[in-house]
Amino acid sequence: MTSTEEDYIKAIFSIAQGTANRMVGTNDIAREMDTSAASVSDMLKKLNSKELVIYEKYKGVRLSPNGTERAMFLLRKHRLWESFLVNKLGFAWDEVHDIAEQLEHVKSNELVNKLDAFLGYPKFDPHGDPIPDSNGTITLRNQVLLNTLEIGDEGTLIGVKMHNKDFLAHLNGLDLNIGTSIKVTECFPFDNSLKIMVNGKSEAYVTEIISKNIYLKKTS
Amino acid sequence: MTSTEEDYIKAIFSIAQGTANRMVGTNDIAREMDTSAASVSDMLKKLNSKELVIYEKYKGVRLSPNGTERAMFLLRKHRLWESFLVNKLGFAWDEVHDIAEQLEHVKSNELVNKLDAFLGYPKFDPHGDPIPDSNGTITLRNQVLLNTLEIGDEGTLIGVKMHNKDFLAHLNGLDLNIGTSIKVTECFPFDNSLKIMVNGKSEAYVTEIISKNIYLKKTS
DNA sequence: GTCTATTTTTAGACAAATCTAAAAATTATT
DNA sequence: AATAATTTTTAGATTTGTCTAAAAATAGAC
């Protein structure tokens, strides 16, 4: 599988959310990958002939069992490298995506498994996303979005839904990181914004777009 | 610069030995890269137009100052990754070349410098080759080839000249590694083979092809 | 110095991945 | 159901790096 094919597999998986393996449209993929629908069409034919996807003209495409396995392995590699970059090399969580995107294309199973061991078999990456283990299975957690909490509720930040660089950098500015404790002190129903207590010492004001993209583990 | 261009720059540097930046022939590059002379010819034209090499038809090619800088940076990346693979992930020295070959094409100066820091700014890689620092300067050592020693001479193995996988694996079998102490106990002028004492405890017999590819720091 | 032999370059073709523009199929509107 | 709008596919061209086969230049032998 070429790097480009891998990128398509990843995009299809990502659009289908990993969830139901639902049908995905040509234009969706083109948008996600910033390329033309014509290019996507060509590639889908190719991936179909390699039995990595199930593709019907004009209908859409979804990953085959084989393709899903590949996607999980790519996810594993991506998230392990992100963990390495943040936990070992000292990058910030908003700086690692593009580099991990390159590293994940390096071909060597031995490398991935040794990296996994070196990192201590982490189950979650620096954004709180689950890392598939060497069998492709992932660990799930009880997590709720910040915008579902009510006044007085508390929790610990364990992940983010949006991976946008600007969003992550903004969270840095608010002192919101993995492990940060959060308590909701005020709700403004008008625009669904919140006032929160951060780590028990500073206050922060968060808009709905933010609270809808932060995962917490509720502590009370 | 594409990955392929990088590979050509590396090959030219490698053939010219990094030493005198001497002229290199088209066929030499084709042999080194396992490709056709025609492909090399095409690429040299391209690298010349990008001013990475100085190329004259039918004469040969050598790296421009710009190209040399690129080559040093690639060497730095390759050797830092090899150090990481051996010292952090636990690979053996004969297993890392192909993986480092892929890792060295990852684009991010920040990554290289953070990796360098993480490794403790090593000056030599797992094969004893010098690692260029962030300015591109390399540290040289007093080193002699094992085949230049005489009976009674002692030294410490600090590097290898040949990087062939089979050669390195063979040295593993003889307990010869970086740091191993060696004393020459017998010379056989007939075929220039040697008998040596390894780490003061076991004896080994080495042929000329081996002794010509092991660098030592003489201790007496 | 001429005639081979070798090296190197050109010419033309191919595969992978992409693009634009146009045609075909599907979906939405009324 | 007919027409309009959207989505998707095909057709044909382009770029990068590669190849083989043939031509041109250089080097070696006598």
Q: Could you tell me the pLDDT band of residue B42, with boundaries at 50, 70 and 90?
A: very high
CATH code, domain carrying B98: 1.10.10.10
Q: Which amino acid makes up residue A29? A: I
Indicate the residue among A19, A43, A63 that finishes a domain. Answer: A63
Indicate whether B58 and B93 sit together in one domain. Answer: no
DSSP E strand stretches across chain B: 53-56, 60-63, 144-145, 154-160, 181-188, 193-198, 202-206, 214-218
Indicate whether A203 and A175 sit together in one domain. Answer: yes
B213 has pLDDT over 90: yes
Indicate the residue among A63, A92, A113 that finishes a domain. Answer: A63
In a domain, B166, yes or no: yes
Q: End-to-end CA distance of chain B: give it in Å, rounded.
A: 47
A26-74 pLDDT, tens digit each: 999 999 999 999 999 999 999 999 999 999 999 999 999 999 999 999 9
Q: Which of A85, A91, A111 sits opposite B99 (nearest CB)?
A: A111
**What pLDDT sits at residue B64?**
94
Indicate whether A15 and A54 sit together in one domain. Answer: yes
- Tell me the C-alpha distance between A197 and A182, whole Å: 6
Q: Which nucleotides of D are covered by protein (CB under 7 A)?
A: 7-12, 16-22, 25-26
A218 touches chain B (CB under 8 A): no
B167 has pLDDT over 80: yes
In a domain, A70, yes or no: no
* Length of chain A counted residue by residue: 220
Shortest CA to C1' contact from B37: nucleotide: C8
In a domain, A114, yes or no: yes
Contact B62, B96 (CB under 8 A): no
Indicate the residue among A138, A160, A181 that finishes a domain. Answer: A138
- Tell me the C-alpha distance between B198 and A29, whole Å: 61
B165 has pLDDT over 80: yes
A98-155 pLDDT, tens digit each: 999 999 999 999 999 999 999 999 999 999 999 999 999 999 999 999 999 999 999 9
Q: Which of B88, B98, B99 sits opposite A118 (nearest CB)?
A: B88
User: Tell me, in Å, how far CA of B27 is from C1' of C4?
Assistant: 20
Residues having Cβ less than 7 A from any atom in strand D: A 25-28, 37-38, 40-42, 44-45, 55, 57-58, 60; B 2, 4-5, 35-36, 38-39, 42-43, 46, 58
CATH code, domain carrying B208: 2.30.30.90
B110-149 pLDDT, tens digit each: 999 999 999 999 999 999 999 999 999 999 999 999 999 9
Write the ipTM: 0.92
**What pLDDT sits at residue A18?**
60
Task: Give B147's contacts (C-beta < 8 A, 6+ positions apart).
Answer: B192, B194, B208, B211, B212
A146 phi, psi to nearest 5 deg: -55, -35
| Residue span of the structural domain in which B131 resides | 75-140
